Structure 1
């Protein structure tokens, strides 16, 4: 990361940070994408089981790894303020915290998984697949959380292409293991959707081991000496990480969990509806990787400029990122409008699921436009270390506005399952408006203070 003087320099530096993040996010999400697609080709029941399991796991995973994302603005501001000597301590404490969170998740999951699934109105086979999928996936929780910390450290230094290469190396492993374990190739048992859980767990171990080697042996990361000195657990450091990270984690949890809640509420409908909803939501989430990547890149560049107290530069990066997200969202929306049938065909060959998926995909176009505003602003605010308002906005817009509206539309109108999607769109739009207002106020305060 370097100080920039012109808009052109900012564009090039932003793109150099953004593009590797985007490729990395798409590759990481591709694990879930291929889990869903390949499970769908195993059978609609496998697709529904993986859908339920994913809906239970993703909000928890996103929220808790969101806590660890506090490492990015902390390290970025340390580097911008020329306080590099503080980086190793912060990163190691975050790794300790990541391991502790992972163990706690496994323990709690063992206690509550069966009661949750048993209380859901699921077909027996769908419930069994969801349970076994989550048990298999749990084998990769510890490395998944540790990798989040390592990735945040590498990305905060501006070397986002390194995590891109690490992820690209691991992706073929995931696809190959899916092929082997889901369909029972090369003499392995045919595990269906459950095999996707084992494939993802093994892949997370690969990603983590590779990234640990890179941080320890490859420059410029090795010069920080992350593992050259032992630091005991510091509760004070954990408190600092949690103070910044918990609002980030909860804001992400509130956003992701509303989609999961809708999928769980969909359990009152038949397996075809669940499968179609999951397929369309999976693709919408795939496209969401674009504004999410822009958000993550903005956290890095804005955090770097804020650490150096260059607030005008931070503001320029902010609107550069939002504008880029809106342009791309418009292009994706147009493409999805004309090619919804082809996209639905990626997920299933079942005629009923295919037709219903197309309808859901058309609603997802409105997701894209709201996310193009909300996601980048969340990243900007994290760069400023302003996270509490984002947490409140996420709670209100998604759970006070979005979900109740969706429930009313689904239960008391002829929209049925589509009603939940309209509620989601309403919540996302409200969140985008609220966050933009907060950004304007914060930037005005920073400019006056400077």
Structure 2
């Protein structure tokens, strides 16, 4: 990270940080992408089981990882304020916190998996796959959370190519593990959708091991001695991270669980509908990695500028990111419209599943526009450490507006399952509008405070 003075310099820095993050996010989601595709090719029941398991797992893991994301603006602002000596202890305490959260989630999951699946009244095979997918993926929860904490630290230093390298190295091995454990190749047992959980867990351990080695051996990380001088867990440092991270985590949880709740509501429809919904959502979410990467980049660059008290420069970066997100939205919409059938065939060859998937993809074209606009603004607010208001906005727009409207449309109109997707569009749109209002208010206030101080 370094200070910039001209628009051209800002664009160059923005792209330099963004591209590796984008490749990293796409590659990380590609793991889930291939889990879904390869499970679908093992059968519609396997795909539906992975869909239900993912709908329970992803909101929890995303929410906790949202808490850990707090390390990114914390490190970025310390870097901008030239307080590098405080970074190692902040990261070490973050590792303690990641392990503690992983243990809590594991214990709670152990007691709740069976009751939740029984309530859903799924077909026996789908319920079996979902249960053991969750159990197997849970064996990698501790390394997953530690890795995500370390990745946020690496990225906050501007070394985003390192994260990209780790994920690109791990992705082909994840595909290999999927092939082995889903289909029973190379002497491995044929576990169907459950094998996707085994593959993900193995990949989490691998990613974490590589990240630890890189931080221990490679400059500039090794100069900060992250894994030396361990102290006892500090409630004070934990509180600072939780104060920022919990609202981020809940905001991400509300958004992701919003989509997962839709999947759970879909359990009232047949297996083909569940499979088609999951296929369309999986690909649209794959495209969402682009605005999400823009958001992560904005958190880093804006956090750096805010730490250096360069409010005008932070504002310039924010508008740069929003414009980029809007351009990407049009490109993603074109991809979804032009390649709906090839995308549908990636997941399953059943003609009914393909037809249903194409219908869901049509609605995804519209909701990704709101997502591509709202995600960068969330990243901007995180860079300012302004996270509390975004938390309430997420709760209201997704759970009090989007999901109820989707349920009403699904139950009382001819839209049926597609009504839930209209609810997604409504919820995301309301959230995006609320976020942009908050961003403009915050930036205006900070600029006025700077003018008064000067």
Normalising TM by the smaller chain, what interval?
A: over 0.9
Map of 1:177-196 to 2, 5 A cutoff?
177-196=177-196
Deviates more, 1:364-373 or 1:70-79: 364-373
Alignment partner of 1:187: what SS? coil
RMSD (CA atoms)? 0.6
Map of 1:199-218 to 2, 5 A cutoff?
199-218=199-218
**Alpha-carbon distance in structure 2 between the residues aligned to 1:262 and 1:368:** 16
Map of 1:129-278 to 2, 5 A cutoff?
129-278=129-278
Deviation string for 1:400-445 (max 9, x for gaps)? 1000000000000110000000001000000000000000000001
Aligned residue in 1 for 2:2: 2
Aligned residue in 1 for 2:92: 92
Aligned residue in 1 for 2:350: 350
Deviation string for 1:69-126 (max 9, x for gaps)? 0000000000000001110111000100000000111111110100000111210110
Deviation at 1:335, TM superposition (A): 2.2
Map of 1:9-408 to 2, 5 A cutoff?
9-408=9-408
**Alpha-carbon distance in structure 2 between the residues aligned to 1:106 and 1:289:** 27
Alignment partner of 1:368: what SS? helix
**Alpha-carbon distance in structure 1 between the residues aligned to 2:203 and 2:279:** 23
Deviation at 1:336, TM superposition (A): 1.4
Deviation at 1:332, TM superposition (A): 1.4
Alignment partner of 1:42: what SS? coil
**Alpha-carbon distance in structure 1 between the residues aligned to 2:95 and 2:352:** 46
Deviation string for 1:192-232 (max 9, x for gaps)? 00000000000000000000011111000111111121111
Alignment partner of 2:41: what SS? helix
Deviation string for 1:271-326 (max 9, x for gaps)? 00000000000011100000000000000000000000001110010010110010
**Alpha-carbon distance in structure 2 between the residues aligned to 1:390 and 1:258:** 15
**Alpha-carbon distance in structure 2 between the residues aligned to 1:189 and 1:229:** 44
Aligned residue in 2 for 1:447: 447
Deviation at 1:5, TM superposition (A): 1.0
Deviation string for 1:329-363 (max 9, x for gaps)? 10110221121111111111111100100000010
**Alpha-carbon distance in structure 2 between the residues aligned to 1:195 and 1:243:** 37
**Alpha-carbon distance in structure 2 between the residues aligned to 1:105 and 1:143:** 13
Deviation string for 1:6-50 (max 9, x for gaps)? 111100100000000000001100110000000000000000000
**Alpha-carbon distance in structure 2 between the residues aligned to 1:116 and 1:445:** 46
Alignment partner of 1:119: what SS? helix
Deviates more, 1:90-99 or 1:326-335: 326-335
**Alpha-carbon distance in structure 1 between the residues aligned to 2:331 and 2:214:** 37
Gap runs ≥5 in structure 1: none
**Alpha-carbon distance in structure 2 between the residues aligned to 1:170 and 1:155:** 18
Deviation at 1:367, TM superposition (A): 1.7
Deviation string for 1:124-149 (max 9, x for gaps)? 11000000101110110000000011
The alignment's TM-score, normalised by the length of structure 1, stands at: 0.99
**Alpha-carbon distance in structure 2 between the residues aligned to 1:390 and 1:160:** 26
Gap runs ≥5 in structure 2: none
Deviation at 1:236, TM superposition (A): 1.1
**Alpha-carbon distance in structure 2 between the residues aligned to 1:158 and 1:316:** 19
**Alpha-carbon distance in structure 2 between the residues aligned to 1:191 and 1:345:** 23
**Alpha-carbon distance in structure 1 between the residues aligned to 2:239 and 2:230:** 19
Alignment partner of 1:380: what SS? helix
